[in-house]
Amino acid sequence: MSIPVPHSTLPLGGRHLVLGLSGGIACYKSAELLRELTRAGASVQVVMTDAACHFITPVTMQALSGLPVVTSQWDAREPNNMAHINLSREADAILVAPASADFIAQIAQGRADEMLSLLCIARPVESCPLLLAPAMNREMWAHPATRRNVAQVLADGALLLGPGSGDQACGEVGDGRMLEATELRDELIAFFQPKLLAGKRLLITAGPTFEPIDPVRGITNRSSGKMGFAIARAAQEAGAEVTLVAGPVALATPRHVRRIDVQSALQMFDAVLPLAPGFDVFVGTAAVADWRPVTAADQKIKKDGSGVVPTLAFTENPDILASVARLNPPPFCVGFAAESQDVARHAREKLVRKHLPLVVGNLGPATFGRDDNSLLLIDAEGERALPTADKLSLARELVREIAERLGRSGSPA
């Protein structure tokens, strides 16, 4: 078959995937998943079981993929009549979504009596990984036979994506529903990222802090947290165990990342310092307030018409980054310097003052709330600019930089 050339600059560019559909109502999600995979740059060959064809038509999947859908092991379109061999040799991975209870049982038992299971059994295991996205009723997922079969396919080298939990088509609620299309797309993107930080533990702060003046007002800044959340996602993609301490932001937690929510700088300090000794890397992305009001009013401070403006007294917040850097031994500390001018000078002063191995500088007003950024990496040897790009791309570049420095030093500290 002629495989379309994928767009190499996209996150799945250069990847050719086989998307398998087994029987289940979740097949309706597979059409959107196919769209998400192709938008991410992949070329996708669809293979459907006979049961899947009862839920969604091959015509739909062919229209979305641009390739003929394979439904039978007797498909004679292949010159050698061996589609189950040819398709697996061309693929970077096989993703079965939905993977029904029956299909998982077939793979666990090594049965190959129809095209999709035959393809999975015939694939070269070392070069064509198998990923399964379970989709079934909650009782089917919890059944001892399913649990045994899942354990067997995992032992045989397959990777499980999900399942999720929530409302099911039958009207029940619980575990067993297939992950959403965007979740599966992101799992595939993460799967193909180099595991540069495998075995490492990263602690990351993100977002602003909020320093209360009274019950309804406070002092904060315009940091959206997007850069810190992107770093958390990129580090998890690279194989790290990630804990994210987040100030008040409206962002979804990256998959497989542990999140701790805080409000004030003191709360962030109290969350970070006890944890930091157990981590290999600390990335202080958060825009932490330098000062807070000495006292916060118990009730809203009201304007009384007298024209007298309340006077606020401030005290300095503890320096989270410097405190982590002073640990003995410290994790590898990466500081962020969000400046309004003279980024290189201020970032280098921060590097020296806090005894850091690496500081990342940027112009705060030019990046707060935006989806893109440009960064300046500064260390004792010099500086290197990362030109404007989306924050996830920059985060992946920063992760590569951190991994290289960890490898160069031979240890995190």
Give the pLDDT mean for 8-16: 88
Q: Which residue from 128, 143, 73, 132 is spatially nearest to 107, judged by alpha carbons?
A: 132
Q: Could you please report the per-residue DSSP string of 112-141? A: --SHHHHHHHHS-TTTS-EEEEE---HHHH
Q: Are residues 210 and 127 in the same domain?
A: no
Q: Are residues 241 and 381 in the same domain?
A: yes
Q: Are residues 37 and 166 in the same domain?
A: yes
Q: Place 18 in a pLDDT band, splitting at 50, 70 and 90.
A: very high
CATH code (residue 81): 3.40.50.1950
Q: Are residues 287 and 336 in the same domain?
A: yes
Catalytic residue among 27, 128, 170, 333: 170
**Number of domains, the chain:** 2
Q: Place 170 in a pLDDT band, splitting at 50, 70 and 90.
A: confident
- Give the C-alpha distances (Å, rounded to integers) separating 370 from 62, 186, 254, 284, 365: 37, 21, 18, 19, 10
Q: Are residues 267 and 365 in the same domain?
A: yes
Above 50 in pLDDT, residue 413? no
Indicate whether 1 belongs to any domain: no
- Beta bridge partners, 293, equal 314
Strand 241-246 with 358-363, pairing: unpaired
Give the pLDDT mean for 209-214: 96
Domain boundary at 161, 192, 223, which?
Answer: 192
Structure tokens belonging to residue 127: 């070069």
Is 53 designated active site? no
Q: Are residues 316 and 376 in the same domain?
A: yes
Q: Which amino acid is at 311?
A: T
Burial of 339 (0-12, 13-18, 19+ CB in 10 A): middle
Indicate whether 10 belongs to any domain: no
Q: Are residues 232 and 170 in the same domain?
A: no
Non-local CB neighbours of 340 within 8 Å, separated by 6+ positions: 363, 364, 365
Indicate whether 9 belongs to any domain: no
Spatial contact of 47 and 20, defined as CB atoms under 8 Å apart: yes
Give the pLDDT mean for 208-218: 95
Q: Are residues 29 and 177 in the same domain?
A: yes
Q: Could you please report the per-residue DSSP string of 138-163? A: HHHHHSHHHHHHHHHHHHTT-EE---
Q: Are residues 333 and 210 in the same domain?
A: yes
Give the pLDDT mean for 167-175: 89
Range of the domain at 300: 201-409
Structure tokens belonging to residue 371: 């989806």
Spatial contact of 357 and 405, defined as CB atoms under 8 Å apart: yes
CATH code (residue 251): 3.40.50.10300
Domain boundary at 192, 212, 241, which?
Answer: 192
- Rounded Cα distance between 25 and 233, Å, is 30
Judged by average pLDDT, the poorest of 103-117, 152-166, 284-298, 365-379 is 365-379
pLDDT averaged over every residue in the chain: 92
Q: Are residues 95 and 229 in the same domain?
A: no
Angle at 248 between CA 246 and CA 249, to 5 degrees: 85
What integer pLDDT is reported at residue 238 of this predicted model?
Answer: 97
Residue count of the chain, please give it. 413
Angle at 213 between CA 215 and CA 251, to 5 degrees: 70
Domain boundary at 192, 219, 238, which?
Answer: 192
Q: Are residues 342 and 319 in the same domain?
A: yes
Indicate whether 345 belongs to any domain: yes
Q: Are residues 363 and 225 in the same domain?
A: yes
